[in-house]
Amino acid sequence: MAEERFDYSYDYRTVLLFIYSALFWGVVGILIGLWISVQMWLPETNIAPYFTYGRLRAVHTNGLAFGLGVGAIFGITYYITMRLCKRPLLFPRLARAQVYLFNIAIALAAISLLAGATQSLEYAELEWPLDIVVVILWIMFAINILGTIFTRREPQMYISLWYIIATVIAVAILYIINNLAIPAGWLKSYHLFAGVNSANVQWWYGHNAVGFVFTTPILAMFYYFLPKSTGLPIYSHRLSIVSFWSLIFTYLWTGAHHLVYTPLPDWIQTLGIVFTMFLIAPSWGAVINGYYTVGQDWEKAKNNYLTKFFILAITFYGLQTVQGPTQSLRIVSSLIHYTDWVPGHVHMGTMGWVTLTVVACIYYMLPKILKTEIYSIRIANLHFWFVLIGQLLFSITMWITGIQQGALQKAVNPDGSLKYTMVEIIAKNYPYWQLRTLAGVIFTIGMLFFLYNIYMTVKKAKSKSS
Amino acid sequence: MSLHQLIERNPLVLILLATITVLIGTIVTMLYPMFRPEMHPKLEGLKPYTALQLAGRDIYQREGCFYCHTQTVRPLKTEVLRYGEYSKAGEFAYDRPFLWGSKRTGPDLARIGGKYPDEWHYKHFENPQAFFPQSNMPKYGFLKERKLNPKQIEAHMKALGFPYTKEEIEALKDKTEMDALVAYMQVLGTAVKKQ
Ligand code: HEM
Ligand code: HEM
C-alpha cells in the first residue's frame, strides 16, 4: 500500500490532543449546564458577580459549541481529511500549535465571559481581542485542510471533503462579518451594526452557526464514519450531491426565522420563512441517505455497536430539521418563540445529533489510532442508553413547559383581560425545570461512562505498547 | 466524465462554487437590506443614550440580562395587552448591538421605562424574591457597592459618537452601577410613549 510509506503518528497525536481537549471542555460545559439548569429553579445558587445565570449561560454555550464542538471538529476533520487524501497533514507543526492556541483561547474565553466581557450576540459573545485569536485559529485550520486537500493522493474528493470545505469557507465569512465592532476598550466593543440591522446580521450569523458548526462538519463525520463502521457504501451519490449544494445554498437565507414578529421588515421575515420550509428537503437528503445506507444490509450493519449511534443521531437530525422549519411558521412562532420549547429544540440537536455523532466518531477513531480495540462495548451501550434517555427527558419536558408558557401567556378571561401574570406562569415551570436537571444528570452519567471507556482504552493501549 | 465528477476532482472549482453558493443568500438577506433606509429608521422622539443610561446598558450587557428578558413586544393582541405598544423598528437606532433577546424566562422589558418608580427597581434588583417570592431572578445587590468609572464611560460615549457634556461625565463619579442600571430601565420604551 502506497500510503504506508507515510508516518502518521505525529498527526494522529495532534488529532488525539484535539479530542482530549474537546472532551475536557465538554465536561466543563456540561457541568455548567447542570449548574444553570439548577439556577432556573433555585436562584440561591447564583453566586454574584461571577457565577450568576447571565454570565454562566454564555460559558455553557460557548464552552460546548466552541470547546467541545469546534475542538472535536478540528480533530476529527483532520483525521477524515488525512484518510480521504491518503496523506498526512501538509503542515503538521502548525496543527500542533493550533491545539495549544485553541486551549488557551477557550480558557481565556471562559474567564472573560465570567468577568462579564461580552458582545451580547448569541454564539458571538467573545470580545474583539478573542475574536482575533479565533480568526487566527480558523486560518491555521483552513491552511492545513485546504493545503492537504490540494496535495492529496486520491484524485476524487469524497462527500465529507465537500462538507469540510464548505465549513471552512462559510464559518470564516460568518464569523468575521458578525464580529465587526467598534472597539471602546480592551474588553469592550459595540456592534458595527445598529438596531434592526444589528439583529438581522446577528441572526444571519446565529442560524448559520447552527448550519456550519452543528450541521455541515457533523454531516462530514456522518458520511465518513457511517460507511466505515457498517462496511456499507453510501446509498446514493446523486442524492449526496443534490443535498449538499441545496443545503449550503439554502441555509444562508433563513436567519430571519429567529426574528419572526420582531420589527425586522416583513419581507425579510417572509423570505426567511419560505427558505426555511425548503430546508427540510436537503436536510432529509442526508437522513434518507443514512437510512438507505444501512438498509442495504441491515444484518451486517447491526453487528456494529456504532450503527445505532449513527442511526439515532441522524434520526434526531431528521426530527430537528422538521421541527425547526415548523417553528419558523408565524402561527407556531407566536406560541413557542421565547419559551422553553426552544431549549428543548436546541438540546435535541446538540445532545442528540451533534454530541452523539461526535462520540461515535471518537469510539471508532481512537482505537484505530491507538491500534487497539475499544475497552468495553457493554459500557458503550450503557452510555448510549443513558444519553438517549437524558436527552429525551430534557427535550420532552421543555416542549411541554414551553407550550404551557406560550398558552398561558395568551390566555384571557371572558372580559378580555389577561388571565395570568408572568410570575404565575414562571411558578408553573418549576417542576419541569427540576425534571430538566434530572435529565441533565442522566445525560451526564452517560457521558461519564463514555469518558471512562475512553480512558480505559487509552490505558489499555499504553500498557500494550510498553 | 460528468460535470460533478469534474468538481469532485478539482478543489479550486469546489471552493469557488461553494463560496458563490453561500454568498447568494448572504447578499440578498443580509447585505442588500443594509443599504435600504427601512433598516435604519429612527423615531422622532428617540434620543441617544445619556452617559448614565449607556453605563446602565453596558451593565445590562455585562450581566447577560438579555438571556432571560426580551426587548421586543410582538404585534400580538395579548402581548400588547401585557406590555403595551408593540415595538417599532425606529426605536432601536442607537442600539449597538440590539438587545431583543431570544428567551423570555422573565417578562419583556421593552416598555419597562416609567412603569415603576426608581425606588422599586433599587429594591427589586437587590432582592427580586421580596416582590415575587416565586421569581427565579438572581440578586444584584452588589451593583450598589460599585462606583462607576467616568473615564471608561466617556470612552464608550466617544466610541458610539453620542453627545455628552463634561459635567455629565464628572457627575458619574458619585453614581453606582445600580444607579446606572435603573436609569437605563427608566428610558426603555419611552420614545414610543411620548408620541
Ligand atoms: C432545518 C434545520 C433547522 C431549522 C430550520 C431550525 C429552525 C430553528 C428556529 C426557527 C429556531 C428559533 C426558535 C425560536 O426562537 O422561536 C431555532 C433555534 C435554534 N436551533 Fe434550530 N433549526 C434547525 C436545525 C437545528 C440543528 C440541526 C441544530 C443543532 C444543534 C439547531 C440548533 C438551534 C439553536 C442552538 C437554536 C437557538 C438559537 C437561540 O435562540 O439562541 N437547530 N431553530
Ligand atoms: C447536562 C447537560 C446539559 C444541561 C443540563 C444543559 C442546560 C442548559 C440550560 C439550562 C440552558 C439555558 C436554557 C434557557 O435559556 O432557558 C442551555 C442552553 C444551551 N445549551 Fe445546554 N445543557 C446541557 C448540555 C448541552 C450540550 C451537550 C450542548 C452542546 C453541545 C448544549 C448547548 C446549549 C446551547 C447552544 C444553548 C442555548 C440555547 C438557546 O439559545 O435557546 N447544552 N443548556
Any idea what DSSP says for residue A214? Answer: T
The residue whose C-alpha atom lies closest to atom 23 belonging to ligand 1 is A324
Strand partners, A191: A181
Q: What is the pLDDT of residue B194?
A: 54
Residue with C-alpha cell 449538499? A244
Q: Which whole number is the average pLDDT over B46-74?
A: 98
- What's the domain count of chain A? 1
Interval A160-216: pLDDT, tens: 999 999 999 999 999 999 999 999 999 999 999 999 999 999 999 999 999 999 999
Tell me the C-alpha distance between B141 and B138, whole Å: 9
In a domain, A269, yes or no: no
Ligand 1 first shell, C-beta below 6 A: A 122, 206, 210, 214-215, 257-258, 276, 279, 283, 317, 320-321, 324-325, 327-328, 333, 336-337, 342, 345-346, 349-350, 353-354; B 102
Nearest to A455 by CA among A374, A382, A381, A388: A374
Tell me the C-alpha distance between A247 and A208, whole Å: 11
Residue A4 has pLDDT above 70, yes or no: no
Number of the ligand 2 atom closest to the C-alpha atom of A346: 38
Mean of all residue pLDDT scores within chain A: 96
Q: What is the pLDDT of residue A267?
A: 97
Interval A23-44: pLDDT, tens: 999 999 999 999 999 999 999 9
Q: What is the pLDDT of residue A301?
A: 86
HSE on the CB side for B181, CA within 13 Å? 26
Tell me the C-alpha distance between B141 and B10, whole Å: 61
Would you say the pTM of this structure is higher than 0.90? yes
The residue whose C-alpha atom lies closest to atom 27 belonging to ligand 1 is A349
Number of the ligand 2 atom closest to the C-alpha atom of A40: 10
Question: Mutate which of A210, A252, A334, A356 to test ligand 1's pocket (most atoms within 8 Å of Cβ)?
Answer: A210
Interval A101-131: pLDDT, tens: 999 999 999 999 999 999 999 999 999 999 9
Q: Is the CB of A28 under 6 A from ligand 2?
A: no
**Ligand 1 midpoint to CA A207 (Å):** 7
Interval A430-455: pLDDT, tens: 999 999 999 999 999 999 999 999 99
Tell me the C-alpha distance between B74 and B84, whole Å: 10
User: Secondary structure of chain A: what % helix, strand, coil (to 5)?
Assistant: 80, 5, 20
Tell me the C-alpha distance between A372 and B152, whole Å: 58
Q: How many residues does chain A have?
A: 466
The residue whose C-alpha atom lies closest to atom 34 belonging to ligand 1 is A346
Question: Mutate which of A350, A388, A443 to test ligand 2's pocket (most atoms within 8 Å of Cβ)?
Answer: A350
User: In this structure, what are the phi and psi dihedrals at residue A184, rounded to the nearest 5 degrees?
Assistant: -130, 15
**Ligand 2 midpoint to CA A56 (Å):** 11
Q: What is the pLDDT of residue A70?
A: 98
The residue whose C-alpha atom lies closest to atom 33 belonging to ligand 2 is A61
Q: What is the ipTM, given to two decimal places? A: 0.96
In a domain, A171, yes or no: yes
Nearest to A336 by CA among B76, B165, B49: B76
Provide the grid cell at A336. 413557542
Interval B105-145: pLDDT, tens: 999 999 999 999 999 999 999 999 999 999 999 999 999 99
In a domain, A334, yes or no: no
In a domain, A408, yes or no: no
* Stretch 122-161 of chain A: residues touching chain B, C-beta under 8 Å: 122, 146, 149-150, 155-157
Q: What is the pLDDT of residue A52?
A: 98
Residue A45 has pLDDT above 50, yes or no: yes
Residues A113/A62, Cβ–Cβ less than 8 Å: yes
In a domain, A274, yes or no: no
Q: What is the pLDDT of residue A9?
A: 95
Residues A211/A173, Cβ–Cβ less than 8 Å: no
Is the CB of A117 inside 8 Å of chain B's CB atoms?
yes
Mean of all residue pLDDT scores within chain B: 96
Rounded to 5°, the CA angle B63-B72-A185 comes to 35
B127 min Cα distance to partner chain A (Å) = 11
* Contact list, B64 vs chain A (CB under 8 Å): 52-55, 57-58, 116, 118, 120
* Stretch 10-49 of chain A: residues touching chain B, C-beta under 8 Å: 39-43, 46, 48-49
HSE on the CB side for A239, CA within 13 Å? 16
Q: What is the pLDDT of residue A1?
A: 45
Q: Return the sign of the alpha-carbon dihedral for residues A161, A245, A267, A258.
A: negative
Helices (H) and strands (E) counted in chain A, each on its own, are 18, 2
Q: Is the CB of A230 under 6 A from ligand 2?
A: no
Residue with C-alpha cell 470580545? A127
Q: Which whole number is the average pLDDT over B17-35?
A: 98
Report the percentage of chain B scoring pLDDT > 70. Answer: 98
Report the percentage of chain A scoring pLDDT > 90. Answer: 97
**CATH classification at residue A149:** 1.20.210.10
* Contact list, B28 vs chain A (CB under 8 Å): 253, 271
- Higher pLDDT residue, A246 or A301? A246
Report the percentage of chain B scoring pLDDT > 90. Answer: 95
Q: Which whole number is the average pLDDT over A400-425?
A: 96
Residue A220 has pLDDT above 90, yes or no: yes
Burial of A439 (0-12, 13-18, 19+ CB in 10 A): buried
Interval B153-175: pLDDT, tens: 999 999 999 999 999 999 999 99
* Stretch 191-210 of chain A: residues touching chain B, C-beta under 8 Å: 191-202, 204
Any idea what DSSP says for residue B138? Answer: P
Q: Is the CB of A62 under 6 A from ligand 2?
A: no
Q: Which whole number is the average pLDDT over A398-425?
A: 96
Provide the grid cell at A242. 443534490
B187 min Cα distance to partner chain A (Å) = 16
Q: Can you list the pairs that A180-185 forms with residues at least 24 positions away whose Cβ atoms lie under 8 Å?
A: A181/A119, A181/A128, A182/B96, A182/B159, A182/B160, A183/A128, A183/B159, A184/B155, A184/B156, A184/B158, A184/B159, A184/B160, A185/B152, A185/B155, A185/B156
Residues A188/B156, Cβ–Cβ less than 8 Å: yes
Q: Domain range for residue A62?
A: 10-192
Tell me the C-alpha distance between A458 and A453, whole Å: 9
In a domain, A84, yes or no: yes
Q: What is the pLDDT of residue B2?
A: 84
In a domain, A371, yes or no: no
The ligand minimizing its distance to the Cα of A344 is: 2
Amino acid type, A180? L
User: To 10 degrees, the CA torsion angle through B100, B106, B108, B112?
Assistant: -120
**Ligand 1 midpoint to CA B7 (Å):** 31
Q: What is the pLDDT of residue A465?
A: 80
In a domain, A262, yes or no: no
The minimal CB distance from A199 to the residues B93, B100, B129 is found for B100
Q: Is the CB of A61 under 6 A from ligand 2?
A: yes
* Contact list, A202 vs chain B (CB under 8 Å): 97-98
Q: What is the pLDDT of residue B117?
A: 98
> Which residues neighbour A9 within 8 Å (Cβ) at sequence distance 6 or greater?
none
Provide the grid cell at A326. 415548523
The ligand minimizing its distance to the Cα of A68 is: 2
**Ligand 2 midpoint to CA A61 (Å):** 6
Q: Is the CB of A258 under 6 A from ligand 2?
A: no
Q: What is the pLDDT of residue B121?
A: 98
Provide the grid cell at A85. 487524501
Residue A429 has pLDDT above 50, yes or no: yes
B88 min Cα distance to partner chain A (Å) = 6
The residue whose C-alpha atom lies closest to atom 19 belonging to ligand 1 is A346
Question: What burial letters (b/e) apply to A157-184, b meaning 16+ CB within 10 Å?
Answer: bbbbbbbbbbbbbbbbbbbebbbebbeb
Residues A205/A178, Cβ–Cβ less than 8 Å: yes
